[in-house]
Structure 1
Amino acid sequence: MCKKNEMRKKYISFRDSMSSDSLLEKSSILAQRLNELDCVKNAETLMCYVSFGSEVYTHDIINNWLSQGKQVCVPRVVKTKGKSLEAVKISSLQELEPGTYGVLEPATGQNNTVSPDLIDVVIVPGCAFDLHRNRMGYGAGYYDRFLKLISDNCLKVGVAFDFQVMDEIPCDELDIPMDIIITEDKII
């Protein structure tokens, strides 16, 4: 666990050192690659994290999908059920407010939750990924618990900057691997 925490800090530090112009440019290239995938084009219900800090910027991805009339869900932390996420359908990013850890999420009163097994594609953040499509999250296990609830047909897509992908990262039986990882330079 200590090694994972050190790696998290290292990769978040790398990300934080990027200029905002570079972050937005690489995020835009990555978004274009993502939206060219047939599984994304054909998806009816998509879930995407709302980017925070130096994460791959997802606001444009979400707005693009909303403008196409797709059903878009974003995660909301459920405090009454331990460390869990639920998918909440939104019609605009303007509906969101700072929630857990300061990340934008739907207000607690919004009851547009979508069953995880109805989601076609879920976009997942991470600190680091590897060539085996393993993901290292932020250490709280929110996404790993949520991803156990989605259908086998749901595509799990990790998005990251190229420098966040390593040959191999430490993982255990609780870590859920991605189906695809997309960076500004490649698709794994």
Structure 2
Amino acid sequence: MDGTGTKPELRRRILAARAAMSEAERDRAASAIRDAVLGLPGITMGGTVAAYYSVGSEPGTRKLVAALWRHGVYVLLPIFLPDGGLDWAVYEGPDSLSPAAYGLLEPTGPRYGADALRRVSTVICPALAVDRRGVRLGRGAGCYDRALSLVGPNTTTLAVTYDTELLGELPAEEHDRAVKGVVTPGSGVIRLPADGGDARG
């Protein structure tokens, strides 16, 4: 897949390709993503990780979230707010989640506010695609761009995609926030040259 076309066109192509994947392919990808992130130095050494709980055809992170939790990592998951922002609450096992809007599962514990991301060591965020600069293509709501603008300079920010969704170059706008790396099932964790700032350049 290439990165040509408008953002809406790219989203349609990527979502169609994801929908065509088999459950077995998605399951293998989820296992590979879990193993790649668990292999990061220090990831299970007591820091806080902000992640997301995958749904539908998204690259699977449920195995990863469960594995981090079993290793004693403090895992925060997002809660989508009516204004398009993200709040955060702790994951305490699958029973700590409840159905929410858009088919999501969200944590039910105390909320820590958007600023919780300022105190995490790693952010693992969804993406439809990422390019070699770290430019991330989301679903268009901008909630993760706003969230990523809150992280500190030493926070590791990783987007999760399938292998075909790491592209040469994506269209970028002023509000887009770059990530410092991408996790794919086939290549594991790939560090990107982005500094987490303005993704246009």
Shared fold, TM over 0.5: yes
Q: 1:112 to 1:90 in 2, by over 3 A?
A: farther
Q: Secondary structure at the match of 1:10?
A: helix
Whole-Å separation in 1 of the counterparts to 2:161 and 2:46: 21
Give 2:169's aligned residue: 168
Whole-Å separation in 1 of the counterparts to 2:103 and 2:149: 25
Give 2:153's aligned residue: 152
Whole-Å separation in 1 of the counterparts to 2:73 and 2:40: 15
Q: Secondary structure at the match of 1:57?
A: coil
Select between 121-130 and 92-101 the one with higher mean Cα deviation.
92-101
Give 2:23's aligned residue: 20
TM-score of the pair, normalised by structure 1:
0.91
Give 2:195's aligned residue: none
Q: Kindly provide the CA deviation profile for residues 92-134 of structure 1, in whole angstroms up to 9, marking residues without a partner as x.
A: 1221112121211123xx3242622111111111111111121
Give 1:125's aligned residue: 126
TM-score of the pair, normalised by structure 2:
0.86
Q: 1:154 to 1:13 in 2, by over 3 A?
A: same
Select between 87-96 and 12-21 the one with higher mean Cα deviation.
87-96
Q: Kindly provide the CA deviation profile for residues 32-87 of structure 1, in whole angstroms up to 9, marking residues without a partner as x.
A: 111111142335100111101011111111111111111110000122xx110012
Q: Secondary structure at the match of 1:38?
A: coil
Superposition misfits of 4+ residues, deviation over 3 angstroms: none
Give ranges in structure 1 of 5+ residues lacking alignment.
none
Structure with the higher helix share, 1 or 2: 1
Q: 8 Å contact 1:43–1:121 — kept in the other structure? A: no
Whole-Å separation in 2 of the counterparts to 1:61 and 1:31: 4
* Identity level (%): 27
Give 1:59's aligned residue: 62
Give 2:197's aligned residue: none
Q: 8 Å contact 1:123–1:156 — kept in the other structure? A: yes
Give ranges in structure 2 of 5+ residues lacking alignment.
191-201
